[in-house]
Amino acid sequence: MLLIAVALTAGTLVTGAAKKVHTLGDSTMAPYDESATVTRGWGMYFGNFLTNGWKSINYAKGGRDSRGGYTELWQTAKKNVEAGDYVIITFAHNDEKNSGMDGYALKAYYEGIGDATAAAAVDLRGTVPSTTYKENLGKIVDEAKALGATPIICSPVCRSYFSGNTIQRNGRHDLGDNYKVLTEKGPVNGTKLAASDHTMDYAWHSEQLAKEKGVAFIDLTNATADLYESYGDAKCHEYLFDGDGSTHFNTTGALLVARECARLMKAQGILADDIVLPTDISVTPATGDFGEAYKGQTLTKEFTLNGFGLTPETGTVTITATDGILLSTNKTDWKSSLTANYAASTLVQTFYAQLTLTQNGETKGTITVSPQNGSTIEIPVSATAVVLEGGTEVKAYWRLEKDDSFTLDGPAVVIPETFQGMYVQRYSNPNANTIWPDWTGFEATRKTQRNLLTGDVWPADEIDDNPDRYIQWGIKPALGTELKIDAISLFVCGCGGNGMCCHVYYSVDGFETRTTMLEYKKMPANNMQFVETKPVISLKAGQELLVRVYPWYNGTASGKTICLSDLTIHGMAVDANSDGIKTIAQPQQLSAHSYDLQGRRCHSPHKGLCITRQTDGTVKKVIY
């Protein structure tokens, strides 16, 4: 029996290393933040099975179909792809939006008949399996080849949709039992297709494309169907999935799928000498780098023990840590040592390490994993305490009570609130009985910003965020300064029902990559949730910190809003120049390129700090 624990393992985007495997896919492959959710994507663990210096770089994101895979994910990935690299491509879950119709074609149809409301409500994701789906995948394949890389088409993992003891047809991404066709007169229901008819079968078409392009094909659809059926419906959901539906994995499920992909590649002779399927116990990650945080913060990091085909078939593993490091399997009970048992020659066990930064500079330690039979594994642990000092405090604050205005204290430039596929319905209290955290002291009638999606009706089949629907704010450094961000926070809740879901992310590279602040499924109505993170971010000239809220609803609904309040971005502005700030007692003629701290042009001398660009191109800060 597998040993299961609710799990978290961070997936990070690695760049710059030779010998890379790039993975492109949707939420079933994507990286997830260990502090925000128990959901895991199999791309997070694929690198566990690579050796001889190969690195796995995971570009997958939730909610992406094959079109987004090409226009967004591949455009980011190909900047790092070099000759000799491999590119694994897998999509279909979100290509099935609109029941097998193409989202852009559907929108164009409604625009063509003058139905602006219906056009605005169309989910632009979704492709036709035999045409636009294959075209999008094919463009990635062709461009990867042109870069000298080796593309691999991987059919999508199944959804655990059981009928008796077998995975249903739609769980295998074949919509032949229930699909739609876009005709000159609009969408119509398709005729049920015979089981042998693969017209609406995304997995089948991905295999046909691989044959047409002469590239390798990994059949993860049938492989995961076999895996799920070996467990059966109840145990499959209990052991492999995240507890929220039939699509997304927990650590065990993601790890087993990653291993299965590696096994199938090795069997086909793909990276055969560079893929290892260990039969002893290993730990992921192999080093415990907690990164940078602020003195006094308590940091938590996830580790996963895994082993398959272990000898003997049953055994015990002891985990210990040096002073200052505590361990847990549930993030509640913390101690200096743990014991994990395994059976059936298989071990999948997640544990957590906790470290509090009590001193400046670097803190080091060791976690030791000691199997009953086998070699001891030592995991080096390190973290660095950061102190912010020597600058000017910056605080950008959006109250979101009556409009989207903000206040700014300190030298920075605010990026105002914007909406993509969303709009403000009104500003009001969500409900006379709004529940705020006790520590706020806020009254139940405190007003918030209530937001709706364009078209007002939440689609029925959404299980992840829509990349074309979000609300955004941001901040960037004032001219001549570096902005160090140490806190981001806001309040969020759903109103009108308990089905509102959302992700809150931040990014410093225009959302090529992102960090999760919050994942919330089915928020209790009118119950304000406080979201806060304390990152270590240094924004230099030209960089922006963007914060986004991506909402969706659990089932079709109208009139349900996502309510937002009190967004705060806090940090410290420091001088970006080595020569510091020059103080002048008497005002003098300003440079033609002088600005105040908010980036506005100064046309006459005034008391205070001005930022000037000199004729030689250097930037100076001058106090008059």
**pLDDT value of position 608:** 54
User: Rounded to an integer, what distance in angstroms lies between the CA atom of residue 201 and that of residue 208?
Assistant: 11
Rounded to the nearest integer, the mean pLDDT of the chain is 89
pLDDT tens, residue by residue, 506-523: 999 999 999 999 998 888
Confidence of residue 600 (pLDDT cuts 50, 70, 90): low
Share of the chain above pLDDT 70, in %: 89
**pLDDT value of position 265:** 98
DSSP per residue, 395-449 = EEEE--SSSS--EEESSEEEEEEEEESEEEEEEE-S-TT-B--GGG---TT--EE
Confidence of residue 616 (pLDDT cuts 50, 70, 90): low
In the DSSP assignment, the letter for residue 266 is H
**pLDDT value of position 430:** 60
Residue 355 pLDDT greater than 90, yes or no: yes
CA nearest to 10, candidates 303, 273, 446: 303
Q: Characterize the bridge pairing of strands 457-458 and 557-558.
A: antiparallel
Average pLDDT over residues 608-621: 60
**pLDDT value of position 10:** 34
Average pLDDT over residues 565-592: 66
Q: Can you give the pTM of this predicted structure?
A: 0.85
pLDDT tens, residue by residue, 114-125: 999 899 889 999
Confidence of residue 620 (pLDDT cuts 50, 70, 90): low
Which pairs with CB-CB distance under 8 Å and at least 24 residues apart come from 389-395? 389/572, 390/574, 391/484, 391/572, 391/573, 391/574, 391/575, 392/572, 392/573, 392/574, 393/570, 393/571, 393/572, 393/573, 394/475, 394/483, 394/569, 394/570, 394/571, 394/572, 394/573, 395/568, 395/569, 395/570
pLDDT tens, residue by residue, 76-100: 999 999 999 999 999 999 999 999 9
What are the structure tokens assigned to 587, written together? 């005002």
Confidence of residue 613 (pLDDT cuts 50, 70, 90): low
User: Rounded to an integer, what distance in angstroms lies between the CA atom of residue 555 and that of residue 175?
Assistant: 20
User: Rounded to an integer, what distance in angstroms lies between the CA atom of residue 447 and that of residue 532?
Assistant: 20
User: Rounded to an integer, what distance in angstroms lies between the CA atom of residue 151 and that of residue 148?
Assistant: 9
**pLDDT value of position 278:** 83
Average pLDDT over residues 370-389: 89
**pLDDT value of position 14:** 41
Residue 550 pLDDT greater than 70, yes or no: yes
pLDDT tens, residue by residue, 191-203: 999 999 999 999 9
pLDDT tens, residue by residue, 263-296: 999 999 999 999 999 888 889 888 999 999 998 8
**pLDDT value of position 612:** 64
Average pLDDT over residues 357-380: 92
In the DSSP assignment, the letter for residue 607 is S
Please report how many Cα atoms fall inside a 13 Å half-sphere around the Cα of residue 565, on the Cβ side.
Answer: 26
Average pLDDT over residues 392-416: 95
Confidence of residue 623 (pLDDT cuts 50, 70, 90): low
Residue 230 pLDDT greater than 90, yes or no: yes
Average pLDDT over residues 386-397: 89
Confidence of residue 17 (pLDDT cuts 50, 70, 90): very low
Sign of CA dihedral 156, 157, 163, 164: positive
